[in-house]
Amino acid sequence: MNGIASAYQSLKDVFGFEGFRGRQEDVLTRVLAGDSTLAVMPTGAGKSLTYQLPAVMLAGTCVVISPLIALMHDQLRSARANGIRAATLTSADADWRETQDAFRAGELDLLYVAPERASQPAFRDFLSAAPLCLFAIDEAHCVSEWGHDFRPDYRMLRGLMDAFPQVPRLALTATADRQTRADVMAQLRIPEDGLVLAGFDRPNIHYAIRHRDNPVRQLTNLMAGESGPGIVYAQTRRKVEDLAEKLAAATGRPVRPYHAGLDPATRAANQAAFVASEDMVIVATVAFGMGIDKPDVRFVAHVGVPKSIEAYYQETGRAGRDGDPSQAVMFWGAGDFATARQRLAEVEEPRRNAERARLDALAGLVETAECRRAVLLRHFGEEPPGHCGNCDNCLEPAGVTDATELARKLLSAVYRTGQSFGMGHLQKVLTGSEDERVRQRGHDRLSVFGIVEPDEARLLQPLSRALQARGDLVATEHGGLALGGSARAILKGESAVQIVVPPRRQRTRRGDATPNPVGDPLFDALRALRKELAEEAQVPPYVIFHDSTLREMALARPTTLAQLGLLPGIGAKKLEAYGERFLRAIDQH
Ligand code: ADP
Ligand code: ZN
């Protein structure tokens, strides 16, 4: 029978996995029972398995609605590598006839299409020709006008699905708040008990947020401890180009740029090279990453603050989908917030409040001395433990200092100098520096001249960053600072200011971030073989086997196909295709 017991058997046979992760089993139980479901699971939780497995187990084809051709082709490769009969119908495919024939003959497990095609009447007629087992709707938040990425084509899917009332629906997304979830379920007629909401935690990702002093040096250090693939997000095309060039020169690693200004061919080539690579770093604007399904990204670095906590979590979520230890590092500067807050003025009112709230939440994240993961998960409505043990604040606790008095001094200096000078000048005034410009402006005669003691002065920079992050200090058009937010309340003594003092020595993370036994001759040989097979098959190495599978092989040293087949990530199809060659490699080392 098609119960969950036989799902375990298929899981082992097809994917070579021993067990389900997170809420996969709950989703599968519903799908196999024919119940429509909305699965909200974070990136990397293994959403695709929840429809690929039923597609193999159940009679009839599973139709997958997916918004991006690149994503579909990625999925297609991985599915086929596991021996699943999958096909896509997109404008980029030349094998339409074969695909249509295979579907009509009942020989397709999975059929991927884009929503604009799926919602056409002709497609509905085509689907009536053979039995279906499931509609899987990927990126299902696009169905809802409440979601951050509404697409009208998604709304039209309802007509298609209503034409096949007996076929269950599985909607999948990584990002949907309460309102969006309710809307998706109503639109797709998913019953109220059909929601499976997985935890948002990504325990294998280490979070660190640092002040940016020298991004090239900071990234070079990060890359020195991390030899695997990485994504660096920068905010403008110019910064992308500049960083890519400097990082390549400083590290000798393959580094490529990605942004909307590159010609499409170069952009596609850089993306493909990154997906296939085991050590490349791609420096990109946030346009990069959507639709990329590379499981072995070992770090995601942000140079500059992201747009919101949601965007941050989605972007950092591209690290470590394979479950191996990975890092998310943000290098932020006070100016990032200052310019973002300046831009708020141009936003129209109902939206401006929401935008301001987004910035405040981000400021809270970068400025916190608490566990970063706890702050993130609480933002998504969870109740996490207060200490995760895998973020910068847990591993190197930062101190918190009351800086209310110093903040009053700084803010009055801003006020008395006319709200038009930058931090450099303000520091000189406050510390009583003998400076030509200070004297010329008459700022040496102000009551705030020299009121900050030398030992307090080292807190001025972190304080100014904190005040800018919170919006109590805002940038003027000419690069000066002006009062904003709660500045007046602080000046009047109605509001206190606590700031985080970073630990004195900022150790970069130890070189043990990647557990791969690089340098072990057997592991290296297995990797080389994987690369060779990947090139032969023209797929990225991880489609052959994940790093974790190679590690297990190097450790267990199986000598027979039967032993090899017991290792995680080796299903029947891959055992047959690659087993002998890996056994030979193990035997020779
Ligand atoms: P999502 O679509 O939710 O971002 P994917 O479906 O791409 O995640 O899965 C992420 C990775 O996790 C894939 O490389 C997949 O092979 C792996 N994976 C999924 N389910 C399991 C499982 N039960 N055991 C081990 N690995 C799994
Ligand atoms: Zn923590």
CATH of 521-587, one of 1.10.150.80, 1.10.8.100, 3.40.50.300, 3.30.70.260: 1.10.150.80
The pLDDT-based confidence of 508 (bands split at 50, 70, 90) is very low
Taking a C-beta distance cutoff of 8 angstroms, is the pair 302, 182 a contact?
Answer: no
The fold of the 400-501 domain, in CATH, is Arc Repressor Mutant, subunit A (1.10.10)
Q: Does domain 205-332+368-397 have CATH number 3.10.105.10?
A: no
Q: Which atom of ligand 1 is least distant from the CA of 20? A: 23
CATH of domain 4-197: 3.40.50.300
The full set of domain ranges for the chain reads 4-197, 205-332+368-397, 400-501, 521-587
SS3 315: helix
| Separation CA 352–CA 344 (nearest Å) | 6
- What's the CA-to-centroid distance between 127 and ligand 1, angstroms? 28
Instruction: Decide if pLDDT at 2 tops 60.
Output: no
Instruction: Decide if pLDDT at 315 tops 50.
Output: yes
Taking a C-beta distance cutoff of 8 angstroms, is the pair 250, 278 a contact?
Answer: no
Q: What strand order describes the sheet that includes 61-65?
A: 86-89, 110-113, 61-65, 132-137, 169-173, 37-40, 195-197
Q: What is the pLDDT of residue 504?
A: 59
- What's the CA-to-centroid distance between 241 and ligand 2, angstroms? 33
Q: What is the mean pLDDT of residues 40-60?
A: 93
Instruction: Decide if pLDDT at 518 tops 90.
Output: no
Taking a C-beta distance cutoff of 8 angstroms, is the pair 178, 151 a contact?
Answer: no
Does ligand 1 have an atom closer than 6 angstroms to the CB of 239? Answer: no
Does ligand 1 have an atom closer than 6 angstroms to the CB of 321? Answer: yes
Q: What is the 3-state secondary structure (H, E, C) of 30-55?
A: HHHCCCCEEEECCCCCCCCHHHHHHH
Sort residue 132 into left (φ over 0), alpha (ψ -120 to 50) or beta.
Answer: beta
Nearest ligand for residue 49 CA: 1
The pLDDT-based confidence of 238 (bands split at 50, 70, 90) is very high
Which pLDDT tens digit goes with each residue over 551-575? 999 988 999 999 899 888 999 999 9
Q: What is the pLDDT of residue 199?
A: 83
Instruction: Decide if pLDDT at 221 tops 50.
Output: yes
Q: What is the pLDDT of residue 503?
A: 65
Q: Which atom of ligand 1 is least distant from the CA of 48? A: 6
Tell me if 400-501 shares its fold with 521-587. no
Share of residues in the chain with pLDDT > 90 (%) = 71
Protein residue closest via CA to atom 18 of ligand 1: 46
Q: What is the pLDDT of residue 571?
A: 92
Q: What is the 3-state secondary structure (H, E, C) of 125-183?
A: HHHCCCCEEEEEECCHHHHCCCCCCCCHHHHCHHHHHHCCCCCCEEEEECCCCHHHHHH
Sort residue 195 into left (φ over 0), alpha (ψ -120 to 50) or beta.
Answer: beta
- What's the CA-to-centroid distance between 466 and ligand 2, angstroms? 20
DSSP secondary structure letter of residue 14: I
- What's the CA-to-centroid distance between 386 and ligand 2, angstroms? 7
Q: What is the pLDDT of residue 104?
A: 96
Q: What is the pLDDT of residue 463?
A: 94
The pLDDT-based confidence of 72 (bands split at 50, 70, 90) is very high
Q: What is the mean pLDDT of residues 515-529?
A: 87
Instruction: Decide if pLDDT at 389 tops 70.
Output: yes
The pLDDT-based confidence of 511 (bands split at 50, 70, 90) is very low
Which DSSP string corresponds to 269-307? HHHHHHHH-SS-EEEE-TTSSTT---TT--EEEEES--S
